[in-house]
Structure 1
Amino acid sequence: MSAPHSPTAPSPGRSTAGAAGMRFTVDGWNPSYGTSLELEDADLGASTARIDVDVERPADDWAPLDPPADQARPGAVLFVDGVRRVEARVWIDDVSAAGPATEASAAICASYAGGVVCCCKEGAHLLAVDARRGLFTIAAHAVDVTTFAGTYTACHTAPSEGMPLSVTLSSALQQRLAGVELEVAVTARAQLAGHGVDGEDLLVIDGPLRGRQHLPRAIGFIKSHRAAYLPAELHAMVGALGPGQRTPVFLMGTSWDRHAWYLRLPCRPGAPWAGIVRVECSADLPAADVVALANLSPVTLCRYASDEYKDARAPQNLYPIAGLERELRRRLGDPRLLYRALRVAAA
């Protein structure tokens, strides 16, 4: 585990301040470069997922599947996404230091936001948004940091045995962001009453469904791939999918269980996995409901696939999600102003 404390006092290039029960410094390095004290990265390791490929059809009957010819689209599609940005890396002085600090705990000041875009007969419109700022730290005596550009609420987390401090803080930030995404998703669903869709909506979470799998009519949308979950012969079949085709449903389990399937979005021919996304839904749903969501996903998601000349992450970065990300990042504020505000607060 990386040491949670720096053995050195703040350098002349940093700003130091006192607060009620807390003194902190702002690291002079741009947060996009990490910190002046390098912290170890996490080792993702190999996948150990448990896989059951016989959910929809037996493994020896697997083949690319087209959606039913009469498959209807949902009355409204709710796209849920969140963004996060580290505004500054800070050092919180040891509470017992009477003079110049000799030890300090690394922390991060970050902005994060979640939002929902609704695509329905009224067009695409922002349905819910929630932006917040936080100070993420393992220092028990840390308090809120108030600046002229907003307040960073103290978010305490415990150090994890065998996990680098940088990963611990990043995980705490991601958990808070996931909580905000869940809140805006629930809020957005409540606002659909006036849309006249009568339960015919679909909730699309950008990223894994973990922590949100209890939401009704919800799927997770995973754009990138870090592991080969399927057996070799079925994994090879994913590359044979045509635009709008999907694999049969399979059940996968890691630290949590979910149903999943692969889908190819429309794109020009390229690498075998070009345009491939993984879609997830709850493991608790009956098989018929899972297959219904799987059949619904191609006619819904392919409609919003992006084009290369408009988006560098095409076709996986769906248009509503790309637009939502831009709006959320705008609402985070100017990073230069926020960094300056933190330096002023520390000084």
Structure 2
Amino acid sequence: MTRLFVDTWAASYGASFEGGDGPTSPSTAKVETDPEVPAGDWHPIVAPAGVHTPDLVLLVDGVQRVDGTLSTEEDDGTSFPGLAASYAAGVVRCDLARGAAELAGAQVARALFTASPSVGDVTAGQVRYAVHKVDGSGELSKLHASVQGPLTALEVEISGTARTDGDLLVVDGPLRGRRHLPRTIGYIKKQDKQYLPPALTLVVTALIPGQRSPIFKQGTAWGCWSWYLRLPGASGAPWSGIVRVECSPDLSIEQAVELANLSLVTLPRFASTSYKDPRAPQNLIPIAGLERRLRALLGDPRLLHRALTLAAVRL
């Protein structure tokens, strides 16, 4: 008999997985499935009895917003598009020993992304957009991706100021340029790529809360050790509540297993609930609060757009 499930994610956010019954878009990454458990013996894994949550968990995230699109008129008659963007990064320190959480740091930056060879910084009222030159023609559709690099650098900077010995750093999203950070895991809450063959995918969809998959290795330019786990509060659908976690490929398999087990006893403590968060349970409670705070710090988009318009007229 066919079973029907309703995704716990609100429909306005798409789905927590892509495709009809899970991620169907195949990944081009070369995957090794045997580092921890031979592929033929894959099974759900629970954390050993001696694994405990760290006393301090840091969760870092960033947000970005386009404040306005611009264009230049060069002396030779050519024109280049520009993107004025605000972005912010912050870190939440969760002291699990005391049961307390606090904002450990936050920082806002603004930049004008363009390939124009002549444009300089733009001052819009009390706000300055530092010019950030991009390579190539600077097509507007590609300028949005240019924000990610500076945002990642800001996340690295802000999380570095908050770290202490023995903590665990959770990055909301892939690690990208943060693979060198110690005791750090990337947290990917939306699944859109199929990394595993069907037989091993069945092990993932059979997970229950408190279980993870064996570790596999992704061999791309952003290669990593990776594993899946299921959070509590899922709807029961095959991919509901499934998240992918990753850590640096420079670690040994023993170190990766240690982080995988730590994630298994730590991340479920922060899972959100559907009546409070439309992206439950994957949108972790500290991350949701941090995102709200950071978006507030970006300022009023209408005032910034108006200031940009006036600045362009003056120029």
* Bin for the TM-score computed over the shorter chain: 0.7 to 0.9
Aligned to 2:241: 275
What secondary structure, in the 3-state scheme, does the structure 2 residue paired with 1:340 have?
A: helix
Alignment equivalent of 2:88, drawn from 113, 116, 133: 113
Residues 277/268 of structure 1: CA separation in 2 closer, same or farther (3 Å cut)? closer
Instruction: Give 1:140 deviation, angstroms.
Output: 1.2
Q: Is 1:183 paired with 2:162? A: no
Aligned to 1:133: 110
Aligned to 1:77: 57
Is 2:26–2:195's contact at 8 Å kept on the other side of the alignment? no
Aligned to 1:321: 287
Aligned to 2:119: 142
Structure 1: distance between partners of 2:204 and 2:305: 45
Structure 2: distance between partners of 1:294 and 1:86: 36
Alignment equivalent of 2:270, drawn from 279, 296, 304: 304
Alignment equivalent of 1:216, drawn from 168, 182, 190: 182
Aligned to 1:155: 132
Aligned to 1:11: none
Aligned to 1:56: 36
Aligned to 2:74: 94
Q: Is 1:172 paired with 2:149? A: no
Give per-residue Cα distances to partners, 1:156-177, cap 9 Å, x unaligned. 01017xxx82343122111111
Structure 1: distance between partners of 2:172 and 2:247: 12
Is 1:95–1:141's contact at 8 Å kept on the other side of the alignment? no
Is 1:117–1:125's contact at 8 Å kept on the other side of the alignment? yes
One-letter code of the match for 2:55? G
Aligned to 1:67: 47
Alignment equivalent of 2:211, drawn from 245, 248, 262: 245
Instruction: Give 1:46 deviation, angstroms.
Output: 4.9
Is 2:235–2:241's contact at 8 Å kept on the other side of the alignment? no
One-letter code of the match for 2:84? C
Structure 2: distance between partners of 1:87 and 1:65: 46
What secondary structure, in the 3-state scheme, does the structure 2 residue paired with 1:320 have?
A: helix
RMSD (Å), alpha carbons: 1.4
Structure 1: 4+ residue segments shifted above 4 A: none
Instruction: Give 1:96 deviation, angstroms.
Output: 3.4
Alignment equivalent of 1:342, drawn from 308, 311, 315: 308
Structure 2: distance between partners of 1:253 and 1:50: 5
Structure 2: distance between partners of 1:245 and 1:92: 54
One-letter code of the match for 1:273? W
What secondary structure, in the 3-state scheme, does the structure 2 residue paired with 1:93 have?
A: coil
Q: Share of identical aligned residues, percent?
A: 51
Is 2:92–2:101's contact at 8 Å kept on the other side of the alignment? yes
One-letter code of the match for 1:94? E
Give per-residue Cα distances to partners, 1:30-64, cap 9 Å, x unaligned. xxxxxxxxxxxxxxx85211100111110111001
Structure 2: distance between partners of 1:183 and 1:73: 25
Q: Is 1:234 paired with 2:200? A: yes
Q: Any stretches of 5+ residues in structure 2 without a counterpart?
A: 1-24
Residues 46/158 of structure 1: CA separation in 2 closer, same or farther (3 Å cut)? farther
Structure 2: distance between partners of 1:177 and 1:247: 31
Instruction: Give 1:238 deviation, angstroms.
Output: 1.0
Structure 2: distance between partners of 1:264 and 1:143: 48
Is 1:159–1:168's contact at 8 Å kept on the other side of the alignment? no
Q: Any stretches of 5+ residues in structure 1 without a counterpart?
A: 1-44, 98-102, 193-198
Is 1:149–1:338's contact at 8 Å kept on the other side of the alignment? no
Q: TM-score, normalised by structure 2?
A: 0.88
One-letter code of the match for 1:217? R
Instruction: Give 1:70 deviation, angstroms.
Output: 2.9
One-letter code of the match for 1:238? V
Q: TM-score, normalised by structure 1?
A: 0.80
Is 1:205–1:220's contact at 8 Å kept on the other side of the alignment? yes
